[in-house]
Amino acid sequence: MTFPLPARVHARDGHERRLGVELEFTGLPLPRLAALVAETLDGEIEPASEYELGIRTPLGRFQAELDFDYLKRLAREQQRCPPGELEQAATELLGSLALQLVPLELVSPPLPLSRLAALDPLFARLREQGARGTRHALHYAFGLHLNPELPDTGIDTLLRYFRAYLCLHDWLEQHEDIVAARRLSPYIRAFPKDYVRRLLDPGYRPDLPRFTADYLAANPTRNRAMDLLPWLAWHDEAGVQAAVHDGKVNKRPTLHYRLPNSDIDNPAWSLRHAWHGWLQLEALADDEARLARVCAAYAAHLDQLAPDFLDPWKHKVAAWLR
């Protein structure tokens, strides 16, 4: 069954928009994960190191890895220069400990929106083979990240999508039923209220350099539920790195939506759940008149004296959804 599609399937230059998917989980040895991807998608494994395995498939190149940058870098260095016995033993001990605490990550290539259903059998196979997600343990702050390509890379389009996200954040958080471990973690923090108010102001019409400077001043971090750093780095990599000093910021012309849980071990869950939430954002961003009304209503809500828990925005905004 194909995924429902947004109104704008194609980018301004005519190519079909794409979506990259990143899934964090545990419960499988890394070699087994790579083998399952290869078996399910008719792929071929291309090892990069003990903790990084590429899988070349007809859909593109998938990456299966341990989400631990230091250990991956160490393994690559040891491939170039074999370690002594003591160093090798220390690396193996660190690896065995990391496998108990650090998630595996499966990263898809950018997929055309019309091909997203191809991930359904893969995720089902991982579940059948013992993959465990966010809810399996209290300390599992695992996520599902979506990297959607926008219809174009202009600042006006970015502002529409970003404003739509800010207005829908509370509803999306409820839609995803975010677990306590992820709420308490630093990875998906909400944007500061003063910054949100600035973005909701209809008079705020910055050019790209001004927007980038404002964003980095208020959010010099990857730890946002909607991380704009990859998109901003696509336009100004040096400026972004000067502000955040984070080697994990990879420039690409996509948003980095980090909010959804990774419920891979739940038989009732699939990528479609997060995708349906994203489609609400797409529809709002694509309707400028409705977006302007929602932004005005949210700005008024933020300025009201009553605390949010007495009059939740996540319930109010539902009336604007389609």
Summarised one tens digit per residue, pLDDT across range 49-64 is 778 999 999 999 999 9
Q: Residue 78: its pLDDT value, please?
A: 55
Q: Which of 108, 120, 90, 123 is nearest to 18 (CA)?
A: 108
Asked if residue 34 and residue 143 are part of one domain, the reply reads: no
Q: Are residues 179 and 119 in the same domain?
A: no
Domain-located, residue 196: yes
Q: Are 28 and 36 in contact (CB under 8 A)?
A: yes
* Domain identity same for 148 and 297: yes
Task: Tell whether 3 is covered by a domain.
Answer: no
Say what the pLDDT of residue 76 is. Answer: 59
Domain count, the chain: 2
Question: Which tens digit of pLDDT belongs to each residue from 3-28?
Answer: 999 999 999 999 999 999 999 999 99
Q: Indicate the pTM of the whole model.
A: 0.91
In a domain, 238, yes or no: yes
Cβ partners under 8 Å of residue 196, min gap 6: 166, 302
Residue 112 lies in a domain: yes
CB-based burial label for 16 (10 Å; 0-12, 13-18, 19+): middle
- What integer pLDDT is reported at residue 136 of this predicted model? 73
The mean of the pLDDT values for the chain is: 89
The answer on 101 and 204 residing in a single domain is no
The stretch 262-274 carries a mean pLDDT of: 94
Count of Cβ atoms closer than 10 Å to residue 242 Cβ: 11
Within-domain flag for 239:
yes
DSSP three-state, residue 125: helix
State percent of the chain over pLDDT 90: 75
pLDDT-derived band of residue 93, with 50, 70 and 90 as boundaries?
Answer: very low
Whether residue 110 sits in one domain with residue 29: yes
In terms of C-beta density within 10 A (0-12 exposed, 13-18 middle, 19 or more buried), how is residue 115 classed?
middle
Has residue 1 been placed in a domain? Answer: no
Q: List, in sequence order, every beta strand (DSSP E) within 76-183.
A: 104-107, 111-112, 144-148
Cα-Cα-Cα-Cα dihedral sign, residues 27, 76, 232, 114? negative
Query: What range defines the domain where residue 77 resides?
Result: 16-131
Radius of gyration of the chain (CA): 20
Q: Are residues 147 and 289 in the same domain?
A: yes
- pLDDT tens sequence across 169-215: 999 999 999 888 788 888 899 999 999 999 999 999 999 999 999 99
Asked whether residue 2 is domain-assigned, the answer is no
Helix (H, G, I), strand (E, B) or coil at 106: strand
The torsion angles phi and psi of 280, rounded to 5 degrees, stand at -65, -40
Q: Are residues 118 and 165 located together in one domain of the fold? A: no
Chosen domain end from 114, 131, 148: 131
Question: Strands, DSSP E only, in the chain?
Answer: 18-25, 44-49, 52-57, 60-66, 104-107, 111-112, 144-148, 226-227, 256-257
Residue carrying structure tokens 């899988």: 55
Q: Considering 131, 166, 197, which residue would you say is the last residue of a domain?
A: 131
Q: Of the candidates 113, 131, 149, which is a domain's last residue?
A: 131
Residues 286 and 157 in one domain: yes
Q: Are residues 212 and 312 in the same domain?
A: yes
119-128 and 271-285 helices, crossing angle to 10°: 140
In a domain, 8, yes or no: no
3-state SS of the chain: helix, strand, coil percent to 5?
50, 15, 35
Q: Cα(305)–Cα(300) distance, rounded to whole angstroms?
A: 10
DSSP one-letter code for 132: B
Interior/surface letters 290-322, b for 16+ CB within 10 angstroms, e for the rest: bbeebbebbbebeeeeeeeeeeebeebbeebee
164: pLDDT strictly greater than 50 = yes
What pLDDT score was predicted for residue 70? 47
Residues 300 and 222 in one domain: yes
Tell me the pLDDT band of 281, cut-offs 50, 70 and 90. Answer: very high
Stretch 156-168: mean pLDDT: 98
Are residues 318 and 269 located together in one domain of the fold?
Answer: yes
With cut-offs at 50, 70 and 90, classify the pLDDT of residue 138: low
Are residues 101 and 177 part of one domain? no
